[in-house]
Amino acid sequence: AVRMLRLFRLVRLVRVFAHLPTLPPEVAQFVDLDALHASISVSAWVVAMLLLNHLIACGWYGVGVTVNGVPTWVDVCEQAYALNADQTPGLIYLYVTALHWALTMFTPSSMEIVPANSYERVYCIVTILLAIICFSSFLSSISAAVTFFRQRRQEQVRQNANLVRFLQENQISLGLGSRIQTFLTILNAQANNVIRIHQSDVPQLQRLPAGLKEQLACEVF
């Protein structure tokens, strides 16, 4: 339960990563904030998916070593490993195998490890149902982040192309055109870096009584 709570907290951090701290203007002009936001968002979702698969792998290994009286996937894995290496596999090998199995539940792939008893088959069914829900959410979130980045990049390319075309068609001097492009680049970086929430963007504040609105206005302004 504690590990699942940590996973949910990590997923909530993905939204926090979307709003990076304010960067100095001297640094912001050399950093592609859109690409940085998209990279952090995708990386956070990948880490969350790996952590979830880690928990599933631990549970899969736990089922394999705690069930008695019937063959388990751990027994089958140890027998297959002993045939090739003349020794029993270590804990690291079993964990990596369990993690590999967990990842195959989330992706259209397969491996040689399969349930060997009813308990493991029930665990496998529950994992597949969980994977259908979680993996679709992970995939849609990653796709949304990449699509948003592409749209912002296409819009920037279109605006830059229009600016260059305007300067060329009106025969603007190279020095002036270069200063204009540099200024707009710095201005665009600062605009992307400073994102403030205004009172008009929070409709809930309109429901406050007059006294609270006055106190809020005094502290804000």
Question: What does each of the 221 residues of the chain score in pLDDT, given as a tens digit?
Answer: 455 555 555 555 555 544 555 555 555 556 666 677 778 878 888 888 888 899 999 999 999 999 888 889 998 888 888 887 777 888 899 999 999 999 998 887 778 888 989 999 999 999 999 888 888 888 888 888 888 888 888 888 888 888 888 888 888 888 888 888 888 877 776 665 545 667 777 788 788 788 887 888 787 76
- The reported pTM is 0.63
Q: What's the chain look like in SS3?
A: CHHHHHHHHHHHHHHHHCCCCCCCHHHHCCCCHHHHHHHHHHHHHHHHHHHHHHHHHHHHHHHHHHCCCCCCHHHHHHHHHHHHHCCCCCHHHHHHHHHHHHHHHHCCCCCCCCCCCHHHHHHHHHHHHHHHHHHHHHHHHHHHHHHHHHHHHHHHHHHHHHHHHHHHHCCCCHHHHHHHHHHHHHHHHHHHHCCCCCHHHCHHHHHCCHHHHHHHHHHHC
